[in-house]
Amino acid sequence: MIVGNGMAPGRMLEHLFEVTDAYDVTIFNAEPRVNYDRIMLSPVLSGEKTYADIIIHGEGWYEEHGITLHQGEKITEIHRNERKVVSETGREVAYDKLVIATGSNPFIIPLPGHDLPGVLAYRDLDDTGAMIEASDKGGRAVVIGGGLLGLEAAAGLKQRGMEVTVIHLMPTLMERQLDTAAGYLLQKELEGRGIEVLCEANTKQILGQDRVEGVELADGRVIDASLVVMAVGIRPNVQVAQEAGLEVNRGIVTDATMKTSDPNIYSVGECVEVGGLVYGLVAPLYRMAKVAADHLAGASEMAFAHAETPTKLKVTGCDLYSVGDFAEGDGREDIVLRDAMRGTYKRVILKDNKIIGAVLYGDVADGGWYNELLKSGEDISEMRETLIFGQAYQGGAGADPLAAVANLSDDAEICGCNGITKGTIVTAIQAKGLTSLTEVRAHTKASASCGTCTGLVENVMALTLGDAFQLPASEGMCPCTTHSHGHVRRLIKAKGLKSIPAVMQALEWTTPEGCAKCRPALNYYLVADWPGEYVDDQQSRFINERVHANIQKDGTYSVVPRMFGGITTPDELRAIADVADKYEIPTVKVTGGQRIDLLGVKKEDLIPVWADLNAAGMISGAAYAKGLRTVKTCVGSDWCRFGTQDSTGLGIKLEHYLWGAWTPAKLKLAVSGCPRNCAESTCKDIGIVCVDSGYEVLYGGAAGLHIQGTTKLGTVPTEDDVIEVVGALTQYYRETGFYLERIYKWADRLGYDHIREVILDDLEQRKAYNARFAHAQSFAQVDPWAEFVGGKDAHEFNPINIRKLEAAE
């Protein structure tokens, strides 16, 4: 029996299931949802991630392991003698072993006005959702508390468009994790982003009648506010344990095996006090989880031991790292490196020629190395003169990051959030044949939480695998930048970058104009992320996209008019025949996508060819596009005696809905009227198979150099449901796919279960993604003709303009 469903008990169960299936597991969770990554709430608040992105264990995981999960049901009583728990609904359930993981409660300062509507804590997803809702109305937010959570809240609310003031009682920010110098640099960085920071400021009261209107400080200053966020600390949630008669001090007291004063009750997480300490960072909580799982499985070797845990701030662009003891004291010496031009600061604290603490700001690459030296207690006398310059200057390692990783011991911690060492990663790679970052995350959890160690994990993989290491989705986009596609996508949204020059400036491109690899990718990301705001840059598109035709090996072009759902008319066929005759087009071919291809069009004839086709009502089939190519259909129930639904009509509707939207790579659809699958729906990017009960939605197929069948997303009852699901799926792919990444590669990277949870299982998420797709479709995605012909006549037959006219009619 587990009381609570946070990150610590979730990790405990993962470890437990690896070694035994001896337990039937029941979980009571006060929150009405599955387990999610709380340390990723800040990216959710800032808009960089969604709830679906931070789910750790979806519904399927609980079903797979036979777990009974009671969501939104709080335990109110523990009867130790009878070994049972009682929930707030009156449900009574017996246990053999009980694990209390009730976490912590946010501390709310009992100021006058603290209970007004608009005063929020920042602790869970509900708090985050309330802050997002408040930010939609604009205004000013006041964040009380300049610690980790407070600053992450402030940055997220600023990213959401609010004016933000941070009120902090102490002289510098994050005084528990940073020294004065680093705190000063952090304050200047935040102020540079437009966040007002008031240090040594004490809050007197929160003003307002029916809701928050402002905050009054002790010195008489009044700050207008429509939202107040309290982020001043947490307290272990011990009430149910205390009422059950367990030993409680600041937290629920346990021994080093995570047992409480009752031998049948364990406790893990922020509610625990072990060795006289309570913890709020995730790394020690995961160590508790491992120990508890070990003892529940019947082993007895493991014991929880305190270890210094590094601190990192999850605010994009604010790189800081601190670990250990950096307070003043006798017998200590400091080594400090400041670089005013780069805005970096490094301080290492020594005692008896050993590192006891480190504070890094701006350049944090050596944080893990300093932490390893701290934990090992290594004598640094021989490297004393070069220590502050980092690992690259020691022992001939040079500037090669792989050499630096090679010098790390197997016990070196690579992923601080999850306590994953270099040796654990290497062993998993070699034993399980792992070759991708996704596989390493799945098997070890390294870089699966905050993600700041991703580069280090990749270096470990590259060192271990050598030439076999392949990670196209996360490698640098091109020689112009060290950023991966994933980092660029995230930073474009996080920093509000809305032009190619802005991206290159903010992300420190090494070339003035980019190249043929990165410019098309950046153009796509900006088109997808800022519909209606970003102006499509035609010079960043390939020639095929600029001229609505595919260049052939002899320099001529292939022109493909669109035939929605593969349906055409005699008038359209006559127009195609007339164009072929008039411009002496040598080859007319029926394509595999149920359209007609005019091959051998001269470049100088492209404009008049399209003018004649447009005059007959035909628009570009986008056979060149990183977007919708075709929707292949069979005749379905209209003509076929086996057809169960109108597959042709649905295909035409889908093609009208999806046409014109740019996607990371080409997108091909098919709709089959029955399971006989004449339209070959089971090898398309997205396929629909009509069945008696409705429509099966499939996706992730491939039939080119790579061959794979589709995966079933689910079955929906109506055409409207199909269109909504396909629109949502396409938008999720648009928002999270990397440029030139086909949908099957995208699905392999994100995970098919995860995509199902987002698009099919979560109706609210599905509707939100579909609404964003519809919003993007309301804007012209491209205007290639004006750039191609350099004159206003092009607009007379621009396919986008024709589409707008059709919509208006």
Q: How many CB atoms lie within 10 A of CB 756?
A: 18
**Residue 459, pLDDT score:** 80
Span 211-254, pLDDT tens digits: 999 999 999 999 999 999 999 989 999 999 999 999 999 999 99
Q: What element of type H or E holds 613?
A: helix 606-615
Q: What element of type H or E holds 64?
A: helix 59-64
Span 139-161, pLDDT tens digits: 999 999 999 899 999 999 998 99
φ, ψ of residue 718 to 5 degrees: the values are: -130, 165
Q: Which two tokens stand for residue 297?
A: 């499985």
**Residue 270, pLDDT score:** 96
Q: Which two tokens stand for residue 523?
A: 């153009």
Flag whether 199 is marked binding.
no
Beta bridge partners of 121: 230
**Residue 660, pLDDT score:** 86
Residue 268 banded pLDDT, cuts 50, 70, 90: very high
- Each domain of the chain, given as residue ranges in start order, spans 2-104+236-296, 119-232, 476-540, 544-615, 628-777
Q: Do domains 2-104+236-296 and 119-232 have the same CATH topology?
A: yes
Flag whether 640 is marked binding.
yes
**Residue 395, pLDDT score:** 55
410 pLDDT higher than 90: no
**Residue 316, pLDDT score:** 60
Fold designation for 544-615: Sulfite Reductase Hemoprotein; domain 2 (3.90.480)
DSSP conformational letter for 248:
B
Span 10-28, pLDDT tens digits: 999 999 999 999 999 999 9
Flag whether 690 is marked binding.
no
pLDDT (mean) for 788-797: 37
Superfamily of domain 628-777 in CATH is Sulfite Reductase Hemoprotein, domain 1 (3.30.413.10)
DSSP 427-492: HHHHHHT--SHHHHHHHH-TTSSS-TTHHHHHHHHHHHHGGG---TTTSEEETTEEEEHHHHHHHH
**Residue 473, pLDDT score:** 44
**Residue 376, pLDDT score:** 87
Residue 403 banded pLDDT, cuts 50, 70, 90: low
**Residue 295, pLDDT score:** 96
Residue 317 banded pLDDT, cuts 50, 70, 90: low
Instruction: Give the integer Cα–Cα distance in Å for 148 and 145.
Output: 9
**Residue 551, pLDDT score:** 85
**Residue 396, pLDDT score:** 44
Flag whether 674 is marked binding.
yes
Q: What is the mean pLDDT of the chain?
A: 87
Least confident range from 62-66, 434-438, 663-667, 762-766: namely 434-438
CATH number of 119-232: 3.50.50.60
CATH architecture of the domain formed by 2-104+236-296: 3-Layer(bba) Sandwich (3.50)
